[in-house]
């Protein structure tokens, strides 16, 4: 029972993080039909910005964990939001008319740049850094199973972000503009929507959500690493594809589905094949990505595609 | 242009050969200076000289004349390059380090020839190049240790195994396009690296040792003595790498010029049009993908034997990106551009010690700049010309 509960909490947590990354990919693809592959590394940078903020605040002598948390969140969101907008402005918009693979390649390389910058220029950035535990670590007893308070808070926070995004997209003028640009950029422009402003805002928004996911990831594992963005980026992209690129709810679904598969894999693999090292769970996860792509090439909720000749 | 008389055309052809020989001479001398340069200042001066020379050549129309020359007598260039490389190997016959650099450039260029077929001709973006390179290294490591198959045969076999393992990806790659296909290869690259890291039979994170190539009773790693001089044991490897690269280059060039290359180009530029003209899209994609992985595997096997050691650290996603950067930097689809690009990406950081630590950062920035400002690469691919007197476009 305890093990099962732990698997469920772990799955939900991973699912929340993956969903938040996948939402970014799908938003960017929606407005510009471009893949921003450095998204995972933007997330990593957000986590590092948060870490730097928490160190800075504690150096100022403020020891209240809640104030530190606020500083971490604000710093992470602002840094990545600006970075996301800058990426859109200086890398993705100029390459908009080029073949789509050029954008993919350029952003892959940008991911490399971000990774290397953190590895080389963040003090001792090549090693995993401990992330401060800013949330209360007490337990809530549910029968025999002890649920950690910080996990509950993280899950609720993730839920709030996702619901907030849903409201933003469906209920506000900005959301309307994003949807309009996603549907048809040209027509949206004719209707008086400032195309590039919407694109920049969308990229800022998506990147900020990724930063929140990065901070969540850091708080959950109490450790961040310059390399974590690559894996999270690939998984988030897979989740976005699984849900159908351009579909926000599909991306959230894809995130949870992928987390479920991964948890199932790490639970079922030792049962099926005895003596298998736990490290094979990553191999399993990526094998699943390849198989799913072969089975449903454009995702479970297929992207609407038509060929213009 | 079609009114050009044959004698005049022949005369221009002879001039073309002279220009190409002169160019090869200049490049060989330059490379000799560059490879033997010891101090950082020397290297920097040589780099500035190269930049000025390229700028001046563009300014005074020399580049155009070289291009006309290579076009009017296309056979001379490769021979000049071959002789130039042999000269360099002969000059540095006892300097291990320089020979190792030459081998590395040749082998990575071979692997990138494979990427060129995949990415540049049929348009499959393969972000798992290092994985296929690694499959070649691991295959030869395992087979050389456990079987008695001759090593030269093993090199071919490594390529075959690489292509065979790559064929797992054929179904997802054929069914997907663009971003989706890219994701499949990225996932495979990371899968391969984690797999060899956790697999104890393949040495895990420590990797495996390789014996070095021995063939016809002669072991490459023994070195040899010629004219009372000790010759570095890298010389046989350099010659072998040169043979492999030259063979691959000739095959790819022929392929490009043939109707096969034409079909592949159509598949890349417009699948719908290709299908309308009765071109079998899946067939060319499969052939290009297998051929590319075969070349990467062959290059990887020789590289593994040469360094005597394989470990998962050599085949990370960053290394795959490095291979793609070489292909893009050289000018996508242009096999000739790969060599200078490989030289810049692989040798420059070795020579300029202060960028060694920052090399992945350096490549990434260079590739982004290339994509933004010169998307066709250093030596852009030209429209193929079947006749000498065709008007260049």
Ordered DSSP codes for B119-140: IIII----S-HHHHHHHHHHHH
The complex's ipTM works out to 0.81
Average pLDDT (B262-286) is 87
Better pLDDT: A212 or A285 = A212
Average pLDDT, chain A: 84
Q: Are A25 and A56 in contact (CB under 8 A)?
A: no
Question: Can you give the C-alpha Rg of chain B in angstroms?
Answer: 21
Average pLDDT (A88-117) is 86
Burial A64-81 (b: 16+ CB within 10 A, else e): ebeebbebbbebbbbbbb
Query: Which residue from B37, B138, B144 is spatially nearest to B92, judged by alpha carbons?
Result: B37
On the question of pLDDT at A160 being above 50, the answer is yes
How far, in whole angstroms, is CA B135 from its chain's centroid?
Answer: 17
Q: How far apart are CA A100 and CA A97, in angstroms?
A: 8
Distances (CA, A) of B75 to A261, B21, B70, B82, B253: 57, 12, 8, 12, 12
Chain A residues with CB-CB distance to B358 below 8 A? 116, 120
- Convert the pLDDT of each residue in B41-75 to its tens digit: 777 888 888 888 888 877 777 777 777 777 777 77
Give backbone dihedrals phi and psi of A148, rounded to 5 degrees, phi first: -80, 140
How far B195 CA lies from chain A's nearest CA (Å)?
Answer: 6
Distances (CA, A) of A85 to A79, A169, A215, A226, B27: 10, 18, 20, 22, 44
pTM, two decimals, is: 0.84
Chain B residues with CB-CB distance to A270 below 8 A? none
Chain A residues interacting with chain B (CB cutoff of 8 angstroms) = 35, 91, 94-95, 98, 100-102, 104-106, 108-110, 112-113, 116-117, 120, 230-231, 234, 237-238, 241, 245, 277, 279-280, 282-283, 286-287, 289-291, 293-294, 297-298, 307, 309
Give backbone dihedrals phi and psi of B310, rounded to 5 degrees, phi first: -125, 140
Q: In sequence order, what are the beta bridge partners of A140?
A: A147
Average pLDDT (B127-139) is 91
pLDDT at A304: 56
Chain A residues with CB-CB distance to B365 below 8 A? 109, 113
Query: Which residue from B252, B197, B148 is spatially nearest to A279, judged by alpha carbons?
Result: B197
Distances (CA, A) of B378 to B52, B324, B332: 15, 14, 9
Shortest CB distance from B190 goes to which of A104, A110, A286?
A286
Shortest CB distance from A238 goes to which of B183, B318, B360?
B183
Q: Are B170 and A294 in contact (CB under 8 A)?
A: no
Better pLDDT: A17 or A33 = A17
Q: Are B159 and B297 in contact (CB under 8 A)?
A: yes
On the question of pLDDT at B299 being above 90, the answer is yes
pLDDT at A81: 93
Chain A residues with CB-CB distance to B364 below 8 A? 109-110, 112-113, 116
Average pLDDT (B262-282) is 86
Q: What percent of chain B has pLDDT over 90?
A: 13
Better pLDDT: B244 or B345 = B244
* Residue B5's pLDDT band (cuts 50, 70, 90): very low
Average pLDDT (A91-120) is 85
> Positive or negative, the Cα torsion across B170, B176, B181, B184?
negative
* Residue A309's pLDDT band (cuts 50, 70, 90): very low
Q: How far apart are CA B183 and CA A286, in angstroms?
A: 10
On the question of pLDDT at B8 being above 50, the answer is no
Q: Are B180 and A298 in contact (CB under 8 A)?
A: yes
Q: Which residue has the tokens 């994509």?
A: B371
Q: In sequence order, what are the beta bridge partners of A142?
A: A145
Distances (CA, A) of B231 to B33, B105, B239, B308: 21, 20, 13, 19
Query: Which residue from B132, B128, B187 is spatially nearest to A292, judged by alpha carbons?
Result: B187
Distances (CA, A) of A88 to A113, A179, A203: 16, 18, 7
Range list of H helices, chain B = 6-36, 40-59, 62-72, 76-91, 96-115, 129-146, 151-166, 170-175, 178-198, 234-257, 259-269, 271-276, 281-307, 317-330, 338-342, 348-351, 353-356, 359-373
pLDDT at B220: 65
pLDDT at B272: 84
Q: In sequence order, what are the beta bridge partners of A145?
A: A142
On the question of pLDDT at A279 being above 60, the answer is yes
Chain B residues with CB-CB distance to A104 below 8 A? 125, 178-179, 182
Query: Which residue from B277, B324, B300, B258 is spatially nearest to B124, judged by alpha carbons?
Result: B324
């Amino acid at each position: 029972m305890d093990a099962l509960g732990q698997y469920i909490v772990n799955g939900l947590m991973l699912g929340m993080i993956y969903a938040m990354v996948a939402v970014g990919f799908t938003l960017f693809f929606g407005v510009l039909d471009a893949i921003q592959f450095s998204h995972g590394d933007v997330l990593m940078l957000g986590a590092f910005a948060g870490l730097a903020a928490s160190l800075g605040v504690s150096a100022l002598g403020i020891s209240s964990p809640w104030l530190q948390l606020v500083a971490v969140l604000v710093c992470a969101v602002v840094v990545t939001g600006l970075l996301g907008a800058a990426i859109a402005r200086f890398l993705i918009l100029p390459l908009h008319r080029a073949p789509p693979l050029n954008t993919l390649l350029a952003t892959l390389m940008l991911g490399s740049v971000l990774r290397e910058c953190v590895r080389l220029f963040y003090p001792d950035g090549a090693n995993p850094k401990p992330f401060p535990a800013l949330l209360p670590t007490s337990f809530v007893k549910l029968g025999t199973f002890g649920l950690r308070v910080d996990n509950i808070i993280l899950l609720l926070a993730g839920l709030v972000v996702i619901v907030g995004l849903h409201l933003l997209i469906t209920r506000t003028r900005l959301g309307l503009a994003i949807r309009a640009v996603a549907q048809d950029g040209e027509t949206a422009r004719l209707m008086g929507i400032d195309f590039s402003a919407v694109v920049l805002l969308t990229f800022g928004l998506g990147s900020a959500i990724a930063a929140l996911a990065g901070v969540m990831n850091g708080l959950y594992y109490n450790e961040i690493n310059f390399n974590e963005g690559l894996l999270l980026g690939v998984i988030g992209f897979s989740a976005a594809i699984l849900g159908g690129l351009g579909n926000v709810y599909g991306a959230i679904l894809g995130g949870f589905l992928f987390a479920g598969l991964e948890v199932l894999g790490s639970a079922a693999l030792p049962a099926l094949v005895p003596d298998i090292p736990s490290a094979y769970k990553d191999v399993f996860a990526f094998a699943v990505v390849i198989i799913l792509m072969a089975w449903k090439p454009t995702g479970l909720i297929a992207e609407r595609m038509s060929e213009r000749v | 242009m079609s009114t050009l008389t044959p004698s005049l055309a022949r005369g221009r052809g002879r001039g073309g050969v002279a220009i190409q020989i002169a160019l090869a001479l200049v490049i060989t001398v330059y490379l000799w200076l560059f490879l033997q340069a010891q101090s950082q200042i020397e290297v920097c001066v040589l780099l500035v000289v190269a930049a000025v020379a390229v700028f001046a050549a563009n300014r005074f129309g020399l580049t155009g004349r070289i291009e006309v020359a290579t076009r009017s007598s296309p056979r001379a260039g490769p021979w000049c390059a071959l002789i130039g490389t042999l000269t360099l190997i002969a000059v540095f016959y006892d300097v291990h380090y320089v020979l190792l650099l030459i081998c590395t450039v040749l082998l990575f260029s071979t692997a990138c020839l494979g990427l060129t077929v995949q990415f540049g001709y049929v348009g499959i973006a393969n972000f798992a190049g290092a994985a296929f390179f690694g499959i070649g290294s691991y295959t030869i490591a395992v087979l050389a240790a456990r079987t008695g198959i001759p090593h030269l045969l093993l090199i071919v076999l490594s390529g075959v195994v690489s292509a065979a393992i790559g064929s797992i990806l054929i179904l997802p790659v054929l069914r997907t396009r663009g971003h989706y296909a890219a994701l499949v290869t990225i996932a495979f690259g990371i899968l391969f690296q984690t797999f060899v890291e956790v697999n104890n039979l393949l040495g895990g994170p420590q990797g495996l040792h390789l014996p070095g190539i021995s063939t016809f009773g002669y072991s490459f790693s023994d070195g040899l003595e010629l004219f009372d001089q000790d010759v570095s044991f890298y010389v046989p490897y350099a010659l072998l790498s040169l043979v492999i690269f030259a063979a691959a280059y000739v095959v790819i060039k022929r392929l490009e010029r043939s109707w096969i290359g034409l079909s592949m180009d159509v598949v890349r530029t417009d699948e719908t049009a290709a299908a309308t003209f009765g071109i079998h899209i899946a067939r060319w994609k499969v052939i290009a993908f297998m051929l590319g992985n075969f070349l990467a595997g062959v290059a990887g096997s020789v590289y593994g034997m040469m360094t005597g050691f394989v470990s998962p650290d050599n085949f990370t996603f960053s290394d795959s990106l490095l291979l793609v950067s070489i292909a893009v930097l050289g000018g996508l689809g242009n096999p000739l551009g790969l060599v200078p690009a490989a030289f810049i990406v692989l040798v420059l950081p070795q020579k300029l010690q202060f960028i060694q630590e920052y090399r992945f950062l350096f490549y990434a920035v260079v590739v982004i700049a290339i994509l933004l400002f010169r998307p066709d690469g250093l030596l852009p691919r030209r429209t193929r010309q079947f006749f000498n007197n065709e008007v260049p476009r």
